[in-house]
Chains A and B, each alone.
Chain A
Amino acid sequence: MRMLGRISRKPWMWSWTAAFVVWFATIMVTGGASTFDLSQAALTFAAFSIIVGIGQMFVITLGPGNIDLSVPSTMTLAGTLALKLMEVDNAMIVPGLVIAMITGVGVGVVNYALIKALRIPPIIATLSVSFIVQSAAIWTNRGLRIKPPSFLADFTTANTLGVPNVAIIALVISVFAWFLLEKTIYGRWISAVGQSMPAAKMAGIPVDGTRFVTYIFCAVLASLAGYLLACFSGGAALNMGSEYLLMSIAVVVLGGTAVAGGDSNVPGIWGASLFMFLVVSMLNTYGLGAGIRLIMTGLIIISVIMLAGGRAR
């Protein structure tokens, strides 16, 4: 019982509970027959939100006002450039990955340069950058969908022991992120910067270095997600990241990370990402129209945050 009490105080508990409830409600429609397929689909698609969500979480942890709105266009540009470079050639997989990563680093550097040198608030700076990056994506291949190399296409859509490969990648990244946050000095630094920049500075923390690395980390994860998504869905599309703008923010906050910064939560992102996928599936399954579906999604998000994030004053 006390154990239960302790767990219910964990901020990630709520997103997991919500995901489970929605999952259960969905499989009930087919009397449980769809359990395996649904779970597999959920893991597959949640994986992409998890990868971008973790990057966004690092940025949000940096404190109020820190947010990266360039995530969608970074995904698009990275996917586009990588697929263009690889040209359906299996031998080019690694160079493709490298170019995607370089894209991420580049976007991260520009983002932070604007934030730091021009003192533009992150929300506006990253928005502006996202426009430029989107243009760059249009310019590079004018919206043509190039197919991924066959090995990558197979790999990203396949399962290992019934677990989708992309979910395994997401898991590896999550563990790495968790380790960074909880065990390393870098994790302490981000959390300190997120709680109070002046205090972090006076405690001798390299504030700019920490923020710089974090913005790059976020953009690199977005690039990786873009690379994987482009391979998974059979080609990079100019609008393929657009969904992940609100999604990346939603999974972070639903997952129990403090929007005010300083406190992050990796397991919560999993719960929230699964939830965000499953809730759409559930409402689709129940055959509800787009209007009702949107309203329900909104109300569920609010209910979850009220249960999870609510602290009576």
Chain B
Amino acid sequence: MTGDTLTAIVEVADAKVSFGAVKALDGVTLAIMPGECVGVVGHNGAGKSTIVSVINGGLTPHQGNISSDGERLARYGIGVARARGVRCVFQELSLCPNLTVIENTRILHRHLGGFGWRKRARKVIERSLDLVFPGHGIESDRSVGELSIAERQMVEIAMAFSDAGVAPRLVILDEPTSSLDAGLAEQMLGYVRRFVDAGGSVIFISHILNEILTTASRIVVMKDGRIVADRRSIDWTEHSLVESMGSVAKGEANRRAVRDLAGAPVVVEQIGPGLPFRAKRGEVVGLAGLAGHGQTRMLMKLHAAETSDWLARREATVAFVAGDRRLNGVFELWSILKNFSIGSLGDLTNRGVVDVAAEMERATDWKRRIDIRTQDLANRILSLSGGNQQKVLFARALSTRAPVVLMDDPMRGVDVGTKQEVYEIIRQQAASGRTFVWYSTEMEEVCLCDRVYVFRDGAIVAELEGDAVTEGNILAVSFRGAAA
């Protein structure tokens, strides 16, 4: 190595990883230089999380090699990576919910031990939280399980940037903003920029292209386990990114057509603190506001009101699409097929006996309709990538005959192309009379709704309709509190 060229913090050369027949990585070469933020985009299952695991040391590629700071490392693993300052925020939340924030910090920083470690750990994490999310309001001796999902994500991000002896040099963020609202996401992105300016490196994975374009210094596009494009970020536009990922940008076609629903009957209603909630037949109702202000609780209430824990309804009246799929979405031991059909078994059984042929037929149909990427529906659900699992959950709900579909931020980690397809299906089904109640943290999706309720502190504080549904209006209400 010559003195004047910078050496890469981590360099992966020609890495190949396969899971059975699936080639998750098919010869990826990627070098991360000090002081750069590399954005990684790609469709679901493109291999983004897999390359992260390789760089993080959690997964040894079947082929290819890894070097760091110019040294080729034969035995690269989690320990080696951490010692070299590689940190990672994973796509799924990965803290211990039973431990306090401080104790989680202890787990993350192996060298924090010894007498009085609590004090030191508290200092480390609180400093980092203050830096990344000023005004966060998270007490570090609360246990993580008591925090909201957004707070947990914040802790996790702050944890990755914290410094307890070994300074972070390369921080990998795998869809870190998926549970954060716009304000928090902006705080985080601001910190990422400062971190990079100060000479740190970041790998940033997101399906929200705007975030990537404004934050990354270089953007890498992955497709089917390969890197298909790698350019400086000023050379990209949202349009060109989408194009190179393989999906066609639809742009403003997304806007819903204004429909007149004045005469439609109300199908669900819920009266609580704040404004009452009502949804009409064929309506797409959005739940907006900052993350964790009671939207999910409203969905749960609506669901609980329409289902019984003791007796099965002959006709299901609501279906639910989970956002937190590990917690209340997938059945991990089951095949894709069984995961799909569990929602509509009522239709597929004859006197309690499951009609296997009908089940298969319906699943195959839906596999085609929303393009679930698998060779065989009998494969385990966990063999699918995160986004594809989410599609199965979608198919589960949409294939029922329930007149109301509740969606709890269902597009978490779904790629752009798929999103467009799902939007289209929702539009069609709404037109044919199905009602959707849709909580989303993504403004673009909220703007697709006919009507939007804005939440704050567990109550509905505003109702926006038609052209009033704009990002500006929603943000204004969410931050100001009771208005409208």
Contact = CB atoms under 8 A, between A and B. Distances in A.
Interface stretch (A51-59, A199-207, A305-313): A199-207
A219 interface: no
Interface string A251-271: 000000010001100000000
Contact of B309 (A196, A201, A203): A201
Interface residues on B, range: 20 to 34
Contact of A192 (B313, B320, B331): B331
Contacts of A192: 331, 334, 342
Residues of A contacting B: mostly: helix
B354 interface: yes
Contacts, number: 84
Contacts of A204: 307, 312-313, 316, 318-320, 343, 400
Interface in B277-293: none
B311 A258 contact: no
A198 B354 CA distance: 23
A186 interface: yes
Contact of A258 (B329, B330, B333, B353): B333
B353 A183 contact: yes
Interface string A182-212: 0111101001100110111111111111001
B303 A199 contact: no
Given A195-B332, A262-B333, A185 B349 contact: yes
Contact of A185 (B316, B333, B354): B354
A206 B349 contact: no
B114 interface: no
A209 B311 contact: yes
A208 B310 CA distance: 5
B5 interface: no
A200 B330 CA distance: 9
Interface in A201-241: 201-209, 212
Nearest to B344: A204
Contact of A212 (B303, B310, B318, B353): B310
B333 A263 contact: yes
B312 A201 contact: no
B101 interface: no
A257 to B, nearest CB: 12
A185 B345 contact: yes
A260 to B, nearest CB: 9
A195 B339 CA distance: 11
Interface string B251-286: 000000000000000000000000000000000000
Given A202-B322, A206-B309, A208-B310, A184 B328 contact: no
A199 B327 contact: yes
A184 B311 contact: no
Contacts of B318: 204
A208 B309 CA distance: 5
Interface in A7-25: none
B332 to A, nearest CB: 6
A206 B345 CA distance: 13
Given A203-B320, A212-B310, A188 B343 contact: no
Contacts of A188: 338, 342, 345, 354
Interface string B397-428: 00010000000000000000000000000000
Contacts of B434: none
Contacts of B3: none
Interface in B322-380: 322, 327-334, 338, 342-343, 345-346, 349, 352-354
B267 to A, nearest CB: 17
A24 B372 CA distance: 50
19 contacts: A185-B353, A185-B354, A188-B338, A191-B331, A195-B334, A196-B327, A199-B328, A199-B329, A202-B328, A203-B320, A204-B307, A204-B319, A206-B308, A206-B309, A208-B309, A212-B310, A258-B333, A262-B331, A262-B333
Interface of A: 183-186, 188, 191-192, 195-196, 198-209, 212, 258, 262-263
